[in-house]
Every structure is written in structure tokens, then in C-alpha cells.
Amino acid sequence: MSRVKLLRYLANLGYGSRREVLGLFADGHVADAAGETLYGDDVRAHDDIRIDGEALDPAPGLLLMLNKPTGYTCSTKDKGRLIYDLLPRRFRHRDPLVSPVGRLDRDTSGLLLMTDDGTLLHRIIAPKSKLPKIYRAHLASDLRGDEGAIFASGTLMLEGEQTLLLPAELEVLGPRDARLTLHEGRYHQVRRMFVAVGNHVEALHRERIGGLELGGLPEGEWRLLGDDERVRLFAQ
């Protein structure tokens, strides 16, 4: 990574306001990897900076995977529990913000990507990307048997909309359980699709986006994604 002036850089990483970060320098909390004290107008590379001997939080351009539990909102300001409560406190103060890539509603769990890279975010959510998103749904009533054909037809239109849905694939897992693969991301799409066929989603979990799956990531936990996983995300 390129070398940067430290005062603004640390403030943008969420370590405090400029005044607070100046205090870190004044009190000798900031040093390089060799232990030499650093100051706000010094220039260093990200990996050469330490605060109280600890490496910095991830550099700008991060991409992380969160296993979102139900009961958490994808917001910085809503009341109640927020996804940022599951991340290091500084992450909600970074500039640019570490933002969710698309959203999962409060009652939906599973794979949520987050990034501070606006270009990457828009590449993932852009309609032309058509990255598959796979959900597991538990329903209030038994499946009728014709839902798969309806969802795959490309002729279904949701209430209040004027464009047809792209074809989606339904895999029946049980009388009231199904796996649904979408290639677009409309508001509450899975729930509204089942309403359109006379059913109701009682529980919804996202298992996969593109080539990425949650794997063994525990609920409520997160991890950074490496370059190989970024490539896998877009491998369909």
C-alpha cells in the first residue's frame, strides 16, 4: 500500500476525531513496527504503523463476510440492535463507511457482505452482474407443487411493480422448506414471491452470494475476505 500522512489516515480509520488522534500522537501511542514514535505529519505505509504495539485495523478497500443473526438491522442509525454492534466499534466511524452490500431485513439471517470500496459494492449489486443469491426459506403452509414452475417462468410480477422478475430456481427441501436462487435483488423479494403464490415466509436465511458460502462461520461472527475469495465471488 502507498505511504500516507498519519493524522488524517488514522482519523479516517475510525481511531477518533482529528483532535482525539492528535492526543494519541502526543501521548506516544503511535509508533512504527520498529518501535519508533510517530507523529501526525509523518508518512508511513499501513503495515508499518502500530498503536500501543498493535497492528492497525484493516486498510481501506476491505471486504468482509458477516453471518448476520436475526434481530439485527442493516443500518447505522435505527433503534435496536444494528449489524455494527457485531463489528469492531471503530468500523462504524470509518470514512468511507464500511457499508452492507445490499441488505438483509431484521428477520433474515445469513451471509452479508460489507465493504468500504464503493466501486466494488456497485459491481456486486449491479443488475448486470446477476450474481446468484441463494436463500433457504421455511414457510407457514405446505408448498402446492407449482411454485417452482411459476418462479422459473419469468412471467411473475410482484405487487406494486411494473417489471417482470427474472427466472428463479426453487429446490423443494420438505413440505414447508425450500431453497430459492435469485439473480437480482429487489426489496424483500423472497418474501414477496411467496406471498404472490399464497404463502408466507416464517424464517429466511441467505446461504450464498455468487461463489461465496458462509461455510463454518459462526452466527454473529465476521471475517475478512482475501483476494482469492474476491475472485470466487464473481465465479459463477
Q: What is the DSSP letter of 34?
A: T
- CA atoms of 167 and 184, how far apart (whole Å): 9
Q: Cite the active site residues.
A: 105
Q: Which grid cell is 41?
A: 505529519
Q: Where are the beta strands (DSSP E) in 52-209?
A: 54-55, 63-68, 99-100, 108-115, 133-139, 169-174, 177-182, 201-209
Buried/exposed 26-54: b ≥16 CB within 10 Å, e otherwise: eeebbbeeeeeebebebebebebbbbeee
Query: How many angstroms from the chain centroid is the CA of residue 159?
Result: 27
How many C-beta atoms surround the C-beta of residue 164 within 10 A? Answer: 12
- CA atoms of 114 and 94, how far apart (whole Å): 13
